Chain A
Amino acid sequence: MKSWFRNAVFVVTLLLVLGGVAGRFVRRERFVAPEPVRDPGHAETSVRASASRVDAAFAAEWTRARVSPVPLASDLTWARRLSLALTGTVPSVEEIRAFEQVSPAQRTEWWVSHLLQDRRFSDYFAERLARIAVGVEGGPFIVYRRHRLVTWLGEQIHRNRPYDALVRELLTAEGLWTSRPQANFVTVTVDQNNEAEGPDEQKLAARVSRAFLGLRIDCVQCHDDMFGGPWKQRDFHQLAAFFACAEMSLTGVRDNAEKAYEYRYLKQKEKEVVTPRVPFNAGLLPAEGPLRQRLATWVTHRDNRAFARTLVNRTWALLFNRPLHKPIDEIPLDGPFHPAMEVLVDDVVANGFDLQRLIRVIATTEVFRRDSRNADPGHPVTPEQELQFAAFPLTRLRPDQVAGAILQSANLRTIDADSPVFVRVLRYLQQNDFVKRFGDIGEDEFDGFSGTIPQRLVMMNGELVRERTKEDLLMNASTRIGAVAPDDDVAVETAYLAVLTRRPTPAEKAHFVDRLRDNSGEDGKRSHRMGDLFWTLMNSTEFSWNH
């Protein structure tokens, strides 16, 4: 590297850091004012009505299955769930304070709106959608820009673009992977070593069937279904044939109607030209038009309920960390489904595939608000209650959520788009490094993966937890709380709010207040005691689980 360039980079970085540090001292405490009290508007009433229908469907199902629901969880438990689901982090102490100033009747609406408007939500959801649409692999070196696609998805989600329109763009995009980020959905399948081949029809068909139809038609790629399913090998290849027209050119992806898809079926001697056909609901397929557009219209058709069901199931999974229908990408076309699935599908279709509204409806249900434990310790939650969502299912947080939670816990303020640049850059780097050490779970985010010894080692001894709990008045909440809290009670309580989004039980408070008062020994420093408290809370089961 040229030395003048290195110097320039150094100076710019230094300025950014100094500016950021100055900003932290200069800026007044930000106050997130609750929105003014107003009558619930039509949209809000409608969301509540839909949520009630979902609740009614669950209530009927619980009666049928003879399970009783546990009581509702506290507001803070609910707020933590929603924050983890929509932004991948726990709420900041700053947010908790603002949340608690809103009157209880308005908290639900306020908190959901607060999170949906936040860029953290669109960025975080964009990454989740990208995993569904293109997976996590690096993809072909030159013609694939995953980051561009994620940014584009984030923009669409932020503007609340209807989900069906978004998917149609992915399926039909033409142009360069750089200037038309949607085209990356197609270019990720290009075989780098066989550029003449262009995009891979089979990979595209597999993606479409899993990501947008909730079907595993790709299982019949090589032979007819042998496990009693309805699919034939032809179903898959006829679906793939819709992508035959997509080819690579100097101007990126483009359609060439001349191109055909050929395949040699099992037990056949010769390859044959495969005619594009959809595997079901053929009446919804437009008769005319370019192949990919016909397919996109069919996939996202409002009467193609497989599409809406897949959206509902995936969104449900992102909120509960567990899909409504398992496996997430194998929803039978003719049921049986959970009755709530059909209620939500009707709702999402009637409201033009409004993703944000769907999230609002699910977040507003009582099902999403059920506690994950029983109030009566004599009758602990049963697996059957969890299975029926009569108790909120206890699930392990994903690695990105654990990283997000550590980073946010160590800051009293929300780390968001308004944070100083260096805080955000640091967050990005530390998060990536942590997820790498902790183990990324890739595409299958809801498979009930197991916790590992390396994960516990990273939490106990790893750099991130060490850095974020050590004595550091500028960067770490543990030190700051210890220094500014008026008394030990408040210090312990604030630490609990920051890390576990709840207040300590009387027994916990008594225990840790005692620990703070004990300043004996060489390590009697208060900042160490506070760091130890943070460490303990971060290493608890509660911290690493969605509950």
Chain B
Amino acid sequence: MEPLNHLPGGDGACRSFGHVSRRTLLRWGASAGLAWLTPVARLLAREAEAAPRGKPARSVIVLWMAGGPSQLESFDPHPGSAIAHGAKAIGTSLRGVRIGEALPQVADLLSDMTLIRSVVSKEADHERAVYNMKTGYRPSPTVVHPSVGAVVCHEGEDPGMDIPRHISILPDQWPARGGYFGAEYDAFQVQDPQGPIQDVSTEVPEARRQQRISDLTVVEDAFGRGRMPDLDRKATLHQLTMQRALKLMGSEQLAAFDVKQAPASQRAAYGDTPFGRGCLAALRLVEKGVRCVEVTLDGWDTHVNNHELQRKKLAVLDPAFAALIRDLKDRGLFESTIVLCGGEFGRTPKLNPFEGRDHWPYGFTVAMAGGGIRRGYVHGATDPEGENREPKDAVRVQDLHATLLQGMGINPEKEIRTPVGRPLALSDGVVIDRLLRG
């Protein structure tokens, strides 16, 4: 939908003047021609110039910490306080900023990143919180929202891509979905990329495979009789989809999944774990032009024995995350790729009787890097006593999404007419300019 249809006083949907974006006003102004001469327009134009420069990022890599990582042992330690419960912190390449001791390699790269230590949400149940974090909306019975990767794919075109543009590596039970954009925007799911990916190769010899496919014509011809002449193109899309699947099966781009083709030293840097291999595959896929890769590291739901279990997971995350950032920089992809690392919520400041930490949506950390994201910045702060549920400079999940989309050059306020007929903005959050490079 064009923003012009949504000027104030339009169809009356929950919209106030404050909801109109700067961009909308600019277009409005532009369409009004002479309005450029007004002082307001000049002011708006000046503001527009202050927007992030350079090309927006084209790809996003989501390192998905399923189960809810503890902010206290990772990116938001409060060493020495009661809520640390003995967890230690180390210095980083960013002066005065300390992170958990289990992330030494990431600590060295912190000057390239932004840490948002004040993310807040209203969802503390895994399923609902995952939905919330991945889509930027809370679950609704009316409509299924798309994950951020689906939005990025929907808003960009990549005619040269044979392989899927939205990929989930090591998916758990709730991988990124296409939502109201349709199942074709669902993330393509692949397991540990150390072996061949599932379902892209046939076990029968080539001659038989060809024969099977050519035999299909006979059956399709019989089915087509008495139906629309362009049934496949207009209605079923069956054969068209099949042709695209066949193209994928024969594509050289598939090699990007095969991390065994990478040098041994590079593989070692990511760590010999499925997640490490997943991050390496993500790098190789983004290099090929894939828009969004989600790599899942499961097992953060530490209701029991928090410190030890978090430490084990952090040991997997640290080399993979750091190697990914280093390689993106080495290959000139850091400016065009945004990396986001986080889970569905954080964990309680207080230990429970089983030395575990429970769900905590009132202030947890998301790390971001690359693209137009600010370098070497820490946003927000949580209470060192763990009492206050309102962190300083709180960032709502939807604001995180709006900011990420803005960084991808996508207008978060763009409205999409959903299948239920209701127009819906890509994100209903507010762009946090401080997280973006000025």
| Interface residues of A, Cβ cutoff 8 Å to B | 137-138, 140, 191-194, 203, 206-207, 210, 216, 218-219, 223, 226-227, 327, 371-377, 380-383, 394, 396, 437, 439, 441-442, 444, 447, 449-458, 460-462, 466, 504-505, 507-508, 511-512, 515, 521-523, 528, 532-533, 535-537, 539-542, 544-545, 547
**B164 adjacent to chain A (CB < 8 Å):** yes
Query: For A327, what are the chain B residues with a Cβ–Cβ distance below 8 Å?
Result: 420
- Asked if B208 contacts A523 (CB within 8 A), the reply is yes
Residues of B within 8 A of A460 (CB): 199, 202, 242, 245-246, 249
**Smallest CB-CB separation from A523: which chain B residue?**
B208
- Given A541-B236, A542-B219, A449 and B183 contact (CB-CB distance below 8 Å): yes
Verify if B95 is at the interface (C-beta below 8 Å from A). no
List of B residues within 8 angstroms of A138 by Cβ: 127, 173
Known: A218-B141, A536-B219. A380 touches B203 (CB 8 A): no
Q: Which of B142, B201, B225 meets A216, CB within 8 Å?
A: B142
Taking A382-B228, A456-B244, A507-B221 as known contacts, 13 extra A-B pairs with beta carbons closer than 8 A to each other, sorted by chain A number, are A193-B359, A207-B141, A227-B422, A383-B228, A394-B235, A454-B188, A457-B200, A515-B211, A536-B212, A536-B219, A540-B223, A541-B231, A545-B238
Does A193 lie within 8 Å of B202, measured CB to CB? no
Return chain A residues, CB-CB under 8 Å to B419.
447
Contact residues, B137-183 vs A (CB, 8 A) = 141-142, 144, 164, 173, 182-183
Q: With both chains docked as a complex, state the minimum distance between the C-beta of B159 and any C-beta of chain A, in angstroms.
A: 15
Contact A453 B207 (CB under 8 A): no
In the complex, the answer to whether A539 meets B216 with C-beta atoms within 8 Å is yes
Complex CA distance for A377 and B214, rounded to whole angstroms: 24
**With contact pairs A394-B235, A461-B199, A541-B236 given, residues A532 and B208 touching in the complex (Cβ less than 8 Å):** yes
Residues of B close to A380: CB separation below 8 A: 226-229
- Checking A444, A457, A537 against B219 with a beta-carbon cut-off of 8 angstroms, the contacting residue is A537
Central interface residue in A439, A447, A457, by most chain B CB within 10 Å: A457
Given contacts A191-B125, A193-B359, A450-B184, contact A528 B208 (CB under 8 A): yes
| Chain B residues near A542 (CB-CB < 8 A) | 219-220, 222-223
A461-B200 contact, Cβ under 8 Å, with A137-B127, A451-B238: yes
Which B residues are in CB contact (< 8 Å) with A437? 189, 198-199
Cβ contact of B227, chosen from A210, A373, A451, cutoff 8 A: A373
A541 close to B223 (CB less than 8 A)? yes
- Tell me which residues across on chain A come within 8 A of B186, comparing CB atoms: 439, 452, 454
Distance between Cα atoms of A542 and B218 in the complex (Å): 12
- Evaluate contact between A456 and B245: CB separation under 8 angstroms: yes
Q: How far is the CB of A519 from chain B (nearest CB, A)?
A: 13
| Bound Cα distance A376, B221 (Å) | 15
Q: Tell which of A508, A535, A544 touches B222, judged by Cβ atoms closer than 8 Å.
A: A508
* Chain A residue with Cβ nearest B236: A541
Q: Which 4 A-B pairs have the closest CB atoms?
A: A373-B226, A193-B124, A456-B245, A541-B238
Question: What is the CB-to-nearest-CB distance from A453 to chain B, in angstroms, rounded to a whole number?
Answer: 5
Q: Please tell me if the beta carbons of B215 and A532 are within 8 angstroms of each other in the complex.
A: yes
Taking a contact as CB atoms closer than 8 A, the residue among B12, B142, B144, B216 that contacts A219 in the complex is: B142
22 contacts between A and B (CB under 8 A): A140-B125, A203-B141, A223-B14, A327-B420, A375-B226, A376-B226, A394-B227, A450-B184, A451-B241, A452-B183, A453-B164, A461-B199, A462-B198, A508-B218, A532-B204, A536-B212, A537-B219, A539-B216, A541-B223, A541-B239, A542-B220, A544-B238
| Complex-state Cα separation, A462 to B213, whole angstroms | 15
Give the complex CA separation of A522 and B216 in angstroms.
22
Query: Is B390 interfacial (CB-CB < 8 Å)?
Result: no
With A452-B186, A453-B164 in contact, is A218–B142 under 8 Å at CB? yes
What number of A-B contacts does a CB cutoff of 8 Å give?
Answer: 170
Report the separation of the CA atoms of residues A337 and B221 in the bound assembly, to the nearest whole angstrom: 38
Within 8 A of A (CB), among B243-259: 244-246, 248-249
Would you give the shortest CB distance from A150 to chain B, in whole angstroms? 18
Q: Could you tell me the distance in whole angstroms from the C-beta of A223 to the nearest C-beta in chain B? A: 7
* CA of A100 to CA of B329, assembled, Å: 69
**Complex CA distance for A377 and B221, rounded to whole angstroms:** 12
A447 to B144, CA, bound (A): 12
B237 touches A (CB below 8 Å): yes
Residues of chain B lying within 8 A (CB to CB) of residue A533: 215
Q: A219-B142, A226-B14, A450-B184 are in contact. Are A457 and B245 (CB under 8 A)?
A: yes
Verify A453–B218 contact, CB threshold 8 A: no
Instruction: Give bound CA distance, A437 to B168, whole Å.
Output: 13
The answer on a CB contact under 8 Å between A452 and B184 is yes
How far does the alpha carbon of A528 sit from the alpha carbon of B144 in the complex, in Å?
43
A449 in complex: contacting residue of B182, B208, B231, B241, CB < 8 Å: B182
Q: Give per-residue flags for B289-319: 1 if the beta carbon is below 8 A from chain A beta carbons, else 0.
A: 0000000000000000000000000000000
Q: How far is the CB of B1 from chain A (nearest CB, A)?
A: 15
B385 at interface, CB cutoff 8 A: no
Q: How far is the CB of A512 from chain B (nearest CB, A)?
A: 7
Query: Are the C-beta atoms of A522 and B205 separated by less than 8 Å?
Result: yes
Cross-chain contact of B237 among A227, A376, A450 (Cβ < 8 A): A450
Q: How far is the CB of A532 from chain B (nearest CB, A)?
A: 5
Q: In the complex, A462 Cα to B249 Cα: how many Å?
A: 13
- Smallest CB separation, B186 vs chain A (Å): 6
Contact check, A523 vs B207: say whether CB atoms are below 8 A apart: yes
Q: Once bound together, how far apart are the Cα atoms of A373 and B249, in whole Å?
A: 33
The reply to whether A450 and B219 contact each other, CB–CB distance below 8 Å, is no
Chain A contacts of B227 at CB under 8 A?
Answer: 372-374, 380-381, 394
Q: Which of A218, A456, A462 has the most chain B CB atoms closer than 10 A to its own CB?
A: A456
Q: How far is the CB of B239 from chain A (nearest CB, A)?
A: 7
B232 proximal to A (CB < 8 A): yes
Q: Which residues of A contact B241 (CB under 8 A)?
A: 451-453, 455-456
Contact B199 A451 (CB under 8 A): no
Q: Name the residue of chain A whose CB is nearest to the CB of B164.
A: A453
Residue B13 lies at the interface, judged by CB distance under 8 Å to chain A: yes
A453 touches B184 (CB 8 A): yes
Query: Closest Cβ of chain A: how far from B418's Cβ, in Å?
Result: 11
